[in-house]
Each structure stands twice: as C-alpha cells, then as structure tokens.
Structure 1
Amino acid sequence: MLEGEVPPPFGVRRFLPLPTLSHDPGRRHIGVPRERDFGPHVDQTNYSVVVAEQVVVKWLTPPVPLPHPAPELLAHLVEAGFNDTAPPYAALTGPVDGRECLLALVTGYLPEARDGWEWCVDDAETGSTGFAADLGRLAADLHLALAGLPVAAGPGDGLPSPAAVRAAGALAEALELTGDADGPWLAARADLLRHELEPLDAPVVSPVIRIHGDLHVGQVLKWRDGYAVIDFDGNPTVQDADPCQPAARDVAQLTTSLEHVAQVAIRRRGVPPDRAAAWAAAARAGLLAAYRARLAARGRPDLLDERLIRPFEVEQECRELIYAARHLPRWRYAPMGVLRTWYPEENNS
C-alpha cells in the first residue's frame, strides 16, 4: 500500500521513501523476524509493530479523527531538514464510523533504542550528566525547525495570556484531586504556587511557535547513533491544548521530566534523595545552557522567554498530579517528590 497504488477507502501521505523490504529468493531468511511487537515491558498508549527490523508501524488505538498534528509536523520536519527523529515514512488514513481518521504512522526503526525512562534513570543512578548538553541542543534544533511553521494569531497586544487561566485551572484541579497526607501539604503551599504562576499574567512577548506539546525524556530515544525525539501526537492528557505556544512550554516539561527521573531513581534504584536532587539540578542547568547557546548560535535567542520556565514547570507538576489522580495513582510520588524538593518545610512561607 505504501509503495504502490492505495486501494480505497484508504489514503497514504508519504514523507520519505521506504527502505527496501524485499530480498531475492536466496536472501529471504535474513535472521530477523518479519514482524514483532515491542513486548509487554514497553509502556505505550498505541500499538507498534516492528517490520523486518527496519520499519515501525504505530497503529493508533483507537484511530484519531483528522486533523491530527503528527502528519503536518512530520512533513515539515522533513522539509526543514531536521533529522534527529525516527525517519518518517508515511501516514495511513481511512474512514471510521463515517469520519476520516489517522490509522497508523510509519517510521524508521532505530536499533538499540531505549527511551529516557530507562537510559536517563541509569544516568541518574550513576550521577552522569553528560547527556544534558545533547538534550538541550536537540530541543533547540527541534524548536528552530518548528518555528518555520505558520501559527494562528494569538491574543492581541496588551491582553493577558490564556496560559494564566489554564495554569490557574490546573492548580485548582490538583488541589481538589490530591488526597491523603499530600492534600494538606499541597494546600498549605497553594499561595506560594499561585505566586509562582504570576508571570503568566503578563502578555507573552516571546514568539509563539508550533511546539512538540508532550516533550519529556520518555520521548527521547537513546539509540545506536545518538538521540532522537519521537511522538508528535500532542499531549494525550490535556484536552484542547493549543499547538502554538511559547517554546518555554516544551522546555519546562523537559526540565521537570529530569526531576521525575530523579524521583524514579530514588524509589527504584535506591539513590539517596540529596544526591538525586543534585543530579537533577546539574542536568537541568546543563540542558538549559546548551539550549540557550544553540539558539544564540542560530540567531534566535528570542525563542526562549526565561520568565515563563518556572511557572510552566509549576503547572506541569500540577498536571502530573491530575494525571496521577485520574489515571495512574502510583505515579503521584514523582510530582509530590519534586514539589517537596522545591518547597522544603523550613521554606514554607
């Protein structure tokens, strides 16, 4: 279907040529399975199949009605020459219950790939932060590429950013949903958290660009030849998220995910909390330094508004608490661990 005529009612949008998957009769048995999945140890929202160790077909479960952000973003990244992702080959569409839907995305298979909830936790355990500069450059290059996409008009000059309303709503919902001993602790710091969100009340002055929208270490694969960012489906836990936002939104989600890695290392690897916190701080600083340097080298330091990072980080932790309450209660330890690190008892004022 992807290489020839597409039978109705399906449609295919092609991005890059597929690698050859055919072999002459003497080379049919090449020592790899024709198809396999990733196995139950891989946590994924959708269902992915690896074909001949060269191609990954990600079936969306369930199919998602169009428009969907991934096809447009992948096509643009190819055009912009951004190569630090799994090579995008095609998007398969078709009707489901009378609506045209995205059925599957076809990308390249990256050998020896592990996501950040594995490789980054390993680094937290050993104390290594060498990856941080690579991660900062990767995020900057992604934003430089995405900045070439047109964006919808935002709020007019002088109007407050809708980000302030969204963040306040996230805090209110987190306060409402967080129970047990964590609830009173969080409520006692509600005013402090609101103060952290205040920079969002001012009009946004940095450019608004198309962002990844769900940029955390789990979306960054470490594979045989380096690092690659994946999954341009948007954030599945945030309804009606604006695809066009300040780059600081992605940056804040990436930096908070480093904090979450530290909490995972504490709980699952026995890393002492003070050592994990120091690792997260050093990794965050290294990432941000490399990100800023890359933007400056490309003449676009204006893409990052430093004022927005902290409030977006605070909002992200609120969203992690909401996600834990609604979908994965055992995850609450991670955002609560981060918040307790940020606001120790003696600084509660």
Structure 2
Amino acid sequence: MNSDSIWERLLSLGEKPLTDRERGLTAAVLRLLDGEVPPPFEVRRFPPLPSLSYDTPGCHIGVPAERDFGAHVDQTNYSVVVGERVVVKWLTPPVPLPHSALDVLPHLARTGFPHTAPPYAALLAGSRLLALVTGYLPDATDGWTWCVDDAEVGDTAFAPILGALAADLHLTLATLPGDSGGVAPRDHRPRAEDALGEALALTGGPDGAWLETVAGRLRAELAPLASTGRTPLIRIHGDLHVGQILRWRDGYAVIDFDGNPTVSEADPYQPAARDVAQLTTSIEHVAQVAVKRRDLPAERAARWAAEARALMLAAYEGRLAAGGRPDLLDESLIRPFEVEQECRELIYAARHLPRWRYAPMGVLRNWMENP
C-alpha cells in the first residue's frame, strides 16, 4: 500500500470505518505524519512522536506491529495500539470541528500535566477530526474494571488519589485561555430541568412510576443551579467518570477529552462542580455494578461508595487549597449536578443501553429512600 492509496482510504472513513482487517494501515499512517500531508489533510502536532522500531513480523507492509483492544473493551471509537508505544484513536465516524480535544490536549502537553496519556498529534481532513494519537499506557484497565474490583473487596485507597488527580486537572484547565465568561452568573437550571423531564418521559414501568413520585423532590434539588453566583467558569473535562480513569503500570491517568457525547452543544466552560458531580455519581454507579454483577450486599456497597466519595472530595478540596484555588469548587452545586447527571444516565439507558437503567435507578432510590 503506497502513500497515495493510504490517503485515499482515509478520505472514505466516514462511509467505511477502519476495522481489524486493515492491519498495518494505522502504523503506516503514523510514518506519514512526520512529513508533509496532502490536502485536505492536516496534522496538528504536540510533542514529537516517540521513535518506533520497525518490526515486520506479522505485518503486511513492513511497519511496527499493531493490534486493537479487542471486543472485550467497550469503546465508542476504534483504537489501535502501534508498537506497544502509541495509541491511534480513529473517530467513528469522523467528528466535525470544533472538537474539545484540539484545545485541551495541546494545553496539557504545554503545561506538562503528568496524569494522562501523552498527547502527540491529531489528524484532520477538512473540517473533520479523523484521529487522535497519544501514548500507550502499559497494563492499563479502566475504572469499570479496577474500581468494581475495589468495591467488591471494600478498598477505598484509590479515592484520595482520584480526588487529587481531578483537582490537578482542574487547576491546569483553569489556566487554559479562552472565552470562559469569567465568573458571570449562569442559569444552569433549564438544561437540568429539561433532562429531568426527558428522563421522566423515557423511563417506563415501575421505575417510571416511582420516578414520578419523587419528581417534585428532584426538581427542588435543582434550584441552586438557577444562579452560580461568583463561581468561576473553567474549561472542564465534560465526561469525567471512572471509566475515563485508567489504572496502569505507573499509577492513574485521565483520558478521553472529547466532551460529553450525550449533550449536544454543551458549553466547554462550566463550574468545576459539574465534573466533580459526574465523578462522584460514577463511584455510586460502581457500587450498583458490584451489587448486580459481583453479588456485593447492597448495604456494604452503599457504605463503600459513601466512604470513597468522602475521601475523594476531601482530597480534591485539599489539593485545590494547596494550589491556591479553593474558589474553583462551589459545594452547593454538587448535588444538583448529580441529580442532573442521573437523569442523563436514565436518558442514555432509554436511548442506547436499556440494561444500564438499574444503575441510575439504584442511586436515585438510595438518595430518596435513605437520605
């Protein structure tokens, strides 16, 4: 496969996504990213790509060995590991610009943020993002695996580490230049109330009937979102749950700066409490997963989640204070953003993954029935 045919293949990605049958193509593309690329392609380079040893066994075109993550890894896009050093995430389908990662990844690279996969490059075609190139983290598992394992045995040692990592991320993102709107008050309640209304409309059966009985209480929980006061608006991750936290050979790393795929046109500059709320609710979801899939007694799971949540928040606030920015977190916004997040989980379950409904429903029942 010559370079012309490679570029021709990439032009067809929207209609014909890459598959594991095209072994060697991703590694070949990496070789081309160091040079000039033909229009309409563009490469945005961050730190230089690491050198790759060109090991030919098992490859069709004499480039480093490559593999995908396998069917057991739940992913929206298609990621390929090249030479056990680089990951190329092909967006399936390619995503129209602007794209959050094109702002965030170079900023993390410039500031030396250490708790992520090293960002190397982005490949674009016209007004579409085709692929993101980052470092490979050996022995990595995402939080839907390692955190459920921890819940099963009652281990909360990870929680302060996650809290500090999230705070470090926000301290770094708070320095990202852009139109943040400063600290002007924003009304976040309409979006949250729309999510509640949609969750009520889409959730049927006994779950839906129960949800109707607590709808008034949930709506009241959203009241603090009517005005965020003087809360700073910063660039947030936008989809910060435990599944975006890898535990790997050398520690923990946050990944996937694509924004929230379930919310169209979300403002990238928001209170840090929105990310925090998504992280805390994901810990509660882990507890629900452990109950359902690992037969963990519900009371033990609830105690584990409460302890992990408290430890994480304490570490988060402590790290913000140490960084001179305790003002980044408005604690009064955490619960209303959590309620909105659970509504969005119900919407996601109704539209895409019905079997997931048990997790947000379990969390909401715990909140409403065991305050």
1:58 maps to which of 86, 89, 94: 89
Tell me what 1:105 maps to.
132
Give me the whole-angstrom Cα distance separating, in 1, the residues matched to 2:355 and 2:229: 36
Tell me what 1:343 maps to.
368
2:283 maps to which of 247, 255, 258: 258
Q: Does 1:114 align with 2:114?
A: no
Give me the whole-angstrom Cα distance separating, in 1, the residues matched to 2:276 and 2:368: 21
Tell me what 2:103 maps to.
72
Tell me what 1:141 maps to.
168
Structure 2 unaligned regions, length at least 5:
1-31
Task: Map Cα deviations across residues 238-275 of structure 1 (whole Å, 9 max, x no partner).
Answer: 11111100000000000000000000000000000000
Q: TM-score, normalised by structure 1?
A: 0.93
Q: Does 1:319 align with 2:344?
A: yes
Classify 1:203/1:84 alpha carbon distance in 2 versus 1 (closer, same or farther; 3 Å).
closer
Q: Which amino acid aligns with 1:109?
A: Y
Deviation at 1:50, TM superposition (A): 0.5
* Stretch of structure 1 that moved more, 74-83 or 304-313: 74-83
Classify 1:153/1:35 alpha carbon distance in 2 versus 1 (closer, same or farther; 3 Å).
closer
Give me the whole-angstrom Cα distance separating, in 1, the residues matched to 2:46 and 2:217: 47
Secondary structure at the aligned position of 1:256 is classed as helix
Task: Map Cα deviations across residues 212-236 of structure 1 (whole Å, 9 max, x no partner).
Answer: 0000000000000000000000011
Kept in 2, the 8 Å contact 1:151–1:208? The answer is no
Tell me what 1:85 maps to.
116
Deviation at 1:165, TM superposition (A): 0.7
2:318 maps to which of 284, 290, 293: 293
Tell me what 2:152 maps to.
125
Tell me what 2:18 maps to.
none
Secondary structure at the aligned position of 2:87 is classed as strand
Tell me what 1:37 maps to.
68
Give me the whole-angstrom Cα distance separating, in 2, the residues matched to 1:63 and 1:120: 31
Deviation at 1:7, TM superposition (A): 2.8
How many pairs are equivalent? 337
Give me the whole-angstrom Cα distance separating, in 2, the residues matched to 1:165 and 1:9: 40
Deviation at 1:202, TM superposition (A): 2.7
Task: Map Cα deviations across residues 154-178 of structure 1 (whole Å, 9 max, x no partner).
Answer: 4995x6x331110111111111111
Give me the whole-angstrom Cα distance separating, in 2, the residues matched to 1:76 and 1:233: 14
Task: Map Cα deviations across residues 270-303 of structure 1 (whole Å, 9 max, x no partner).
Answer: 0000000000000000000000000000110000
Deviation at 1:205, TM superposition (A): 1.7
Kept in 2, the 8 Å contact 1:151–1:209? The answer is no
Deviation at 1:8, TM superposition (A): 2.8
1:273 maps to which of 298, 303, 320: 298
Q: Which amino acid aligns with 1:277?
A: A
Give me the whole-angstrom Cα distance separating, in 2, the residues matched to 1:239 and 1:309: 22
Q: Does 1:192 align with 2:201?
A: no
Tell me what 2:42 maps to.
11
The percent of aligned pairs where both chains have the same amino acid is 71
Secondary structure at the aligned position of 2:210 is classed as helix
Q: Does 1:224 align with 2:249?
A: yes
Aligned structure 1 segments of 4 or more residues deviating by more than 4 angstroms:
27-30
Deviation at 1:204, TM superposition (A): 3.1
Kept in 1, the 8 Å contact 2:66–2:81? The answer is yes
Deviation at 1:9, TM superposition (A): 2.5
Q: Which amino acid aligns with 1:170?
A: A
Structure 1 unaligned regions, length at least 5:
none
* Stretch of structure 1 that moved more, 208-217 or 11-20: 11-20
Kept in 1, the 8 Å contact 2:183–2:230? The answer is no
Secondary structure at the aligned position of 1:162 is classed as coil
Q: Which amino acid aligns with 2:105?
A: L
RMSD: 1.9
Q: Which amino acid aligns with 1:245?
A: Q
Give me the whole-angstrom Cα distance separating, in 2, the residues matched to 1:214 and 1:221: 14
Deviation at 1:6, TM superposition (A): 2.1
Q: Which amino acid aligns with 2:123?
A: L
